[in-house]
Amino acid sequence: MTSRRNFLRSCLAGGAAAASAVLPETACARDTLVRPPEGLGLLYDATLCVGCQACVAACKQANENPAEFTAMDKLWDTPLDTSGHTFNLIKMYRNGTMETKDSELNGFSFMKTSCMHCADPSCVSACPVSAMTKDPVTGVVGYDPDACIGCRYCVAACPFGIPKYQYDSPTGKIGKCELCRHRHKDGHYSACAEVCPTGATLFGRTEDLLAEAKRRLAVKPGEWTTIPRGRLPAKGETPEQAAQWKGLVDQSYQAKVGNYLQHVYGETEYGGTQVLKLSAVNFQKAGLPDLPPKSSAATSETIQHTLYGGLIMPLAVLAGLTWVAKRNVVPEDDEASKNQKGGQS
């Protein structure tokens, strides 16, 4: 009867391992991460965008990316989507006669496509070798090709479809917007915001950008208001702090406020992103995913840490399995031990 008792015991051991997989969120649960207080980002206002693609060209130049030709004559850079060599692109929503800008019906609208710099990025959680990292101060989601193994789990994980791999190269890297962090030390902020003629893309601290976005949403559509361009000064910024950035402090101008949807995209999606967006056209129609406030990274890491936190569960199961296996494994030519165990078959 030894075998039946062993069978039941081992069922328990196996059962414990299986049950661990369905445990509800317990003490190991990891909440969705929030934006760092000094985090940097962009505010994109689709109603101000004129679709000039100056930001696309500036991005290519700042990141030393080659042109991508999709037209027959190969006269200029015509990427069809963001790619391993295109980190920023202005896309267009079109409907019917396309008469009116920022109208869902018979209208059109622009939408910027680039990294959202999530508060709780899926790519960072997915990356097995820490090639994708989130800067604890600026919150910039950066990429390190020297660490990367090219598994492309980040590409699969990102709900915005942002990290992209360079399939055309035997030593391909992942390409994505890093908010021009390599230019920050020279006092340059994101190239797309630096060149934007209308202030549709604005660089700054995400908290200040969020306040600016809410200010615009509060103004009655069609009324005139001041629109900053380039960089939005941080709230309570000292002249010393301002001096670290090149360019004119005040490039603002007067413009009419658009007929916004009352939603700042990126305020709560996946726990918030550091790039925020305003639009008069439905965000999903303009190509942005509808995301819950809880990040997938939080769900994934909660499961992962519930199962493997401190390796307690695996070690406990291993101890049980070892105990059972020690009783059941008989060296093949050890007759004495075989007889001792009673050898039923």
Q: Which of residues 216-235 bind another protein (CB under 8 A)?
A: none
Which residue of 161, 187, 197, 293 would you call a contact of another protein, by CB under 8 A? Answer: 161
Residue from 57, 151, 217, 219 in contact with another protein (CB under 8 A): 151
Residue of 307, 252, 298, 260 whose CA lies nearest to 279:
260
Q: Is 51 or 287 the residue whose CB approaches another protein more closely? A: 287
User: Which CB atom, from 242 or from 315, has the smaller least distance to another protein?
Assistant: 315
Q: How far is the CB of 322 from another protein (least distance, A)?
A: 4
Is position 18 an interface residue for another protein (rule: CB under 8 A)? yes
Query: Could you say which of 32, 65, 114, 125 contacts another protein (CB under 8 A)?
Result: 125
Applying CB under 8 A, among 51, 150, 233, 247 the residue interacting with another protein is: 150
The site for another protein, by CB under 8 A, has a size of 91
Residue 56, judged by CB atoms within 10 A of its CB (0-12, 13-18, 19+), counts as buried
Indicate the Cα dihedral angle 172, 175, 180, 185, nearest 10°: -30
By the rule CB under 8 A, 317 interacts with another protein: yes
Radius of gyration in angstroms for the set of CA atoms belonging to the chain, rounded to a whole number? 27
- Cα separation, 266 vs 45, in Å, equals 12
Residue 42 as a binder of another protein (CB under 8 A): the answer is no
136 binds another protein (CB under 8 A): no
Does residue 94 interact with another protein by CB under 8 A? no
For the bound state, the minimum distance from the C-beta of residue 157 to another protein, rounded and expressed in Å, comes to: 5
Q: State the nearest-atom distance from the C-beta of 199 to another protein, in Å.
A: 26
Is there binding between residue 288 and another protein (CB under 8 A)?
yes
Provide, rounded to whole angstroms, the least separation between the CB of residue 172 and another protein. Answer: 5
Q: Tell me the closest approach of the beta carbon of residue 21 to another protein, in angstroms.
A: 4
Give the interface segment with another protein, choosing from 2-10, 37-45, 186-194, 198-206 (CB under 8 A): 2-10
- Using CB under 8 A as the binding rule, whether residue 290 contacts another protein is answered as yes
- Least Å distance, CB 119 to another protein, is 15
Residue with Cβ nearer another protein (174 or 232): 174
Residue 83 or 103 with smaller CB distance to another protein: 83
Check binding of 155 to another protein (CB under 8 A): yes
